[in-house]
Chain A
Amino acid sequence: MRKKALTIHSSRGGTGKTVIATNLAAIYAVKGVNVALLDLDFRAPSLVDVFSKGISGPVKHWLNDFLDGRCRAEQALIDVSEAYGLRGKLLLGLANPAIEAIRNMMEKSRAWEVTAVKRLFSLRSMLFDAMDVDCCILDTSPGVQYTSVNAVVSSDIAVAVATLDSLDLKGLETMLAELYDAFAKRSVVLINKVFPETRVWSSDEQTDLIDKMEKTLKHPVIGIIPCYCDVLQAKRNSLLAVDKPYHPFLRDLEKVAEKLDGIKEIDREEHVLAE
């Protein structure tokens, strides 16, 4: 597997980024791929709750500490693969959910953000070169904020998650053109929480919807995932890929994972065209 860093991003909140990021990471780790999952949503940290069953004892170092230069990268990573019985490694970099830590992250200066993006690049190199990680997934906060843009800049592929909500799609169009394309990032769209009828659609009907979306967004759509009520209502600390491995949501997400594996970084010709 080609080593890659994926940023899971969206223009608005509530598109299902975290459910997708966590289960995508688990799908890869179940297959034996070594994964690092980083919570870059410092305003609304959630991975610490999602993986609470696998984290033993209090968290000593957060991703916040690493970006602040208060700990080494390996200290800010927690391996939960054994706790979930995964074949591959699953390393977590958690955002601190304490109000004081959130407030602190919101007050960071522009200068700090330069150091932060450099630290993200160094973390990425360390994960790939020294810690044998094959895939790094960055779960970000929605919209155009420093941490989410830092994540997009430091990753290879940006996965933009959107629902069919018109405001969501409008924001996505802007983000694709003015953010991802500006940074010459390979970016793909994943439509989530689509009306449940699509579950019984024929492949032609699904292809039609994808074509329509690709024409509007001018970017590849790598999947359309229907809305599953039980996924929405699942407990916060439930990891579907482990708890309900045969759930249809995971089948859809596995197809997405396969498509992501087939994506290459933007090649030289495209770089030249992008200029």
Chain B
Amino acid sequence: MGKAEQSTLKEELLAKLVDELTLVNRKLSLLIELNENMLKMQEKFLHMSSEKTSFDRELKLAPDVMTLLSLPPALRKTAMVLLKLDKATAEDLARETKRLRPVESAYANQLVRMGYISKKREGREVYFYIESPMEIRK
């Protein structure tokens, strides 16, 4: 094979390579686009599911009397006292339930984790309270 022939072959190969690379590039662009769309959809889905979670949480935040019945007796007592007191420290709860303060603190924190009650710090005191999900929704 002569030098001229070799050069033509190289050029052809290079042109073929460029074509292949262009094709790969196009495919990659398509994949990137698809991926972006999927990410957008995923984001939309996550947003929708987080909205649903906050809706569930709102419902869960209402420890009505029927919900109280489904709680273990020890937690039920703490929640009942909190309905009565509106806002209470672990010590206030313990005074009502006649149980030890650390026990009440543990039960109240368990209720906080379950989403039934909330807590806030006021100075040195930590208060537990039941949020009225909507003062009067209906």
Interface of A toward B, CB cutoff 8 Å = 68-69, 107-115, 117-118, 121-122, 146, 149-150, 153-154, 178-179, 182-184, 268, 271-272, 274-275
Is B3 at the interface (CB under 8 A from chain A)?
Answer: no
Evaluate contact between A153 and B138: CB separation under 8 angstroms: no
B residues 81-126 touching A (CB-CB < 8 Å): 83-84, 86, 97-99
Evaluate contact between B65 and A149: CB separation under 8 angstroms: yes
Q: Roughly how many angstroms separate A115 CA and B137 CA in the complex, as a whole number?
A: 10
Residue from A118, A153, A274 in contact with B73 in the complex, judged by beta carbons closer than 8 Å: A274
| B62 / chain A contacts, CB cutoff of 8 Å | 110-111, 113-114
Interface of B toward A, CB cutoff 8 Å = 58-59, 62-69, 73-74, 76-77, 80, 83-84, 86, 97-99, 130, 132-138
Q: Roughly how many angstroms separate A159 CA and B48 CA in the complex, as a whole number?
A: 48
Evaluate contact between B65 and A146: CB separation under 8 angstroms: yes
13 contacts between A and B (CB under 8 A): A69-B135, A111-B58, A113-B64, A113-B65, A114-B83, A115-B135, A118-B86, A121-B84, A146-B66, A153-B80, A178-B69, A184-B77, A271-B77
Q: Roughly how many angstroms separate A121 CA and B65 CA in the complex, as a whole number?
A: 13
Most B Cβ at <10 Å: residue of A154, A183, A274:
A183
| A114 / chain B contacts, CB cutoff of 8 Å | 62-64, 83, 130, 132-133
Per DSSP, chain A at the interface is: helix
| B69 / chain A contacts, CB cutoff of 8 Å | 178-179, 182
Which A-B residue pairs are the 9 nearest by beta carbons? A111-B133, A268-B98, A149-B65, A113-B64, A114-B62, A111-B62, A121-B84, A115-B132, A110-B64
Q: Roughly how many angstroms separate A244 CA and B97 CA in the complex, as a whole number?
A: 44
Evaluate contact between B98 and A271: CB separation under 8 angstroms: yes
Q: Which residue of B lies closest to A182 (CB)?
A: B69
Evaluate contact between A111 and B74: CB separation under 8 angstroms: no
Residue from B76, B97, B130, B134 in contact with A118 in the complex, judged by beta carbons closer than 8 Å: B130
Evaluate contact between A153 and B68: CB separation under 8 angstroms: yes
Q: Roughly how many angstroms separate A15 CA and B54 CA in the complex, as a whole number?
A: 44
Evaluate contact between B137 and A153: CB separation under 8 angstroms: no
| B130 / chain A contacts, CB cutoff of 8 Å | 114, 118
Q: Which residue of B lies closest to A122 (CB)?
A: B86
| B137 / chain A contacts, CB cutoff of 8 Å | 109, 111-112
Q: Which residue of B lies closest to A69 (CB)?
A: B136
Q: Roughly how many angstroms separate A255 CA and B77 CA in the complex, as a whole number?
A: 32
Q: Roughly how many angstroms separate A113 CA and B63 CA in the complex, as a whole number?
A: 9
Beyond A109-B137, A111-B58, A149-B65, 11 additional pairs, beta carbon < 8 A? A108-B138, A110-B66, A111-B64, A113-B64, A114-B64, A114-B130, A114-B132, A149-B66, A271-B77, A274-B73, A275-B73
| A149 / chain B contacts, CB cutoff of 8 Å | 65-66
With both chains docked as a complex, state the minimum distance between the C-beta of B115 and any C-beta of chain A, in angstroms: 13
| B64 / chain A contacts, CB cutoff of 8 Å | 110-111, 113-114, 117, 146
| A178 / chain B contacts, CB cutoff of 8 Å | 69
Q: Roughly how many angstroms separate A113 CA and B134 CA in the complex, as a whole number?
A: 11
Evaluate contact between A115 and B83: CB separation under 8 angstroms: no
| A146 / chain B contacts, CB cutoff of 8 Å | 64-66
Q: Roughly how many angstroms separate A108 CA and B138 CA in the complex, as a whole number?
A: 6
Q: Which residue of A lies closest to B97 (CB)?
A: A271
Residue from A107, A110, A150 in contact with B59 in the complex, judged by beta carbons closer than 8 Å: A110
Q: Which residue of B lies closest to A274 (CB)?
A: B73
Known pairs A108-B138, A117-B65; A153 contacts B133 (CB<8 A): no
